[in-house]
Structure 1
Amino acid sequence: MQTIQANGYSIFFNENCYTYLSETLQSDVYSKIFIIVDSETANYCLPDFLANLATEVPIEIIEFDAGEVFKNIETCTQIWQALTELGADRKSIIINVGGGVVTDLGGFVACTYKRGIDFINVPTTLLAMVDASVGGKNGVDLGNLKNQIGVIQNPKAVLVDTHYLGTLPQNQMRSGLAEMLKHGLIQDYDYWRQFSDLSNLNTDDLNALIHQSVIIKNNVVTQDPTEKGLRKALNFGHTLGHAIESYCLENENKTTLLHGEAIAAGMILESFLSLKKGFLTDAEYHEIKYVITDIYPTVSFTENDINSIIDLLIHDKKNEFGKVKFVLLNEIGAVKTDQDIENGLIFKAFEDYKN
């Protein structure tokens, strides 16, 4: 797969990743390498990564507990303290090896330690490969509120080695697939159509889909790196999806959802809103709903759940002047941003989602 050029950095794939690393991690450039992992990637991915890391530069491993609940400022403080105790300086480099929690949090740690040191992202989940590690967004959650604290700062490089996907359970693969579906829905109808039948998908097919998904996201963020306009399109499904994810994370009576599982529900709900606003046809909406529900189980919501989810919308980062702003589909492959939606229509979306 060809290397993709982004804003000031490159996205390398498979064998090209380690060629780049060996050329970059020279002892006269970096004083020390710090590899940040969580407890899952420490077990399943770190040994392979270290086996491919050819360098004479001293290496330190910093590990934290796996899970969205640890994507917070307290974990950052622990890692900043570890960096200090282990002698990290401004000529050190951080390599984040893991899923979206690791790349988001590790990137934020790097951007803020000593006012910023170099970092490289090595995404090991499908979700991180096609979404979290591309585009320069780094940050942590504030309580149950997703990604409320952070900065936009690009890594030195992103290294996508798809062999790490062999370590993932099916639910994690489905979680990443949601963002790939989204990329088709917002930008590329032909790409979307490739997901209508995944029964004969092989490794080469998956690699090609991942590569194209990264191209789509990179094209968007390259044109609008700080989310002033076009980049808002990437939030399709995320206004309600993030609220659902946050609600399930904080409510002990609800099953915690993976990011992609919540976004899948959000995409169906926001496609219904697009239909009712006159942007999507009935045929387009039912095609979207059929494809997504064929991959993801329907989540159950009570009336109280829905009220609580709507209350969480006020914290969405796209909001302006206290108003919730939605990204809706104008058709499959195009979007309308900054859309106002009444709460009554959101309730109707949830009602249709259940049926």
Structure 2
Amino acid sequence: MNGRARWTVLVAVLALLLPPAAGTASAADRPTVRLSASQAGTGGSVTVSGSGWRPRTLLMLLVCGQAVPTTGVRGGTNSCANADGRAVTTDAEGRFRRKLPVAEPPVPCPCVVHVATATGPGAEADAVFQVAGHAVEPLPAEPLGGRLSVFTDTRLDGSDGLLTWFGAPAERTLVLTVGNVGASPVRDPVFQVGTSHGVFAPRWEEQRWRGTVRPGAKARIELPVDLAAGAHGAYTVSLKYGGRVLAEQPWDVGRPWGVTLFWILAAVVVPAAVFRAGMALVDRVRPRRTAPGPRIRLPGPTLRLVGLRPRERARHSSRPSPALPWFAPDRDPGAPRDDSPTRPATPTRKGPP
């Protein structure tokens, strides 16, 4: 076996024994961003494409200043042209392609096209870009001292109660472990906790954590997080310190169905109560009927009693018929009143002629 063959066998054995380079796998898995042009002026556009992202993921595309791909964007999205950003959803293979209008960021360059996930686990990537005609200034020096870094994944502790089901504000506790990777201790750090809904920018709120994190030490951080009353849907809780976003945690808030049930009951009960109140008012205002007075009986026509026996006919005919005092047409008003029943005159029997 000659020397060339020996070197070939040795290389093959070493390739089998040595593990593959770690950077190759990680580089293939990391998301990437490519631009159709490295420079463009305000009013133009640039085509942004990428690969290696999670499938079916919503991404935000922004032009940001005071940033380089190695250190990220200083100041977060406050250094970006948020009004001219664009959203895009990756395909089933984690790729995308979108045209982005060029706008001047609120801070000077160096600038980048910043691409970050809007939902789910956080992932971001930058591509160097120059906005023609925009000011370029060197990056401000980072302050010396302690630097905090997240060591473990963040989580939200807590659960919803009965009042939350009826629209009360949802509350959670953001829990994470940070470590000081700087050279000096960090005393009473002030964090910024932001909550964002969907693709909207987070609303930041400053919260001070009481304690000291010494160089090389770790600390458990617990910060309260709450939303507005009746809030529901997909939210994202972000933690920022020193102008850098340390962690992001998704938060799915359920719909307050108790409020919906309340309005359904109100739509049924209120009309019924109004109807009953209206009927009571009508009964009170409506005039009442007066009691009926004595009835006046007028003399009617004389009835002929047909089909009665002579004795019953005589009994019925002997009853006086009631008459009104003022109704007596054949009677003299000055004559004495005779209430005795009139009897027919007995004919006088005459003798034989």
TM-score, normalized by the shorter chain, greater than 0.5? no
Which structure would you say has the larger Rg? 2
Q: Give the TM-score normalised by structure 2.
A: 0.24
Scaled by the length of structure 1, the TM-score of the pair is: 0.24
Higher relative contact order (CA 8 A, sep 6+): 1
Q: Which has the higher helix share?
A: 1
Higher strand share: 2
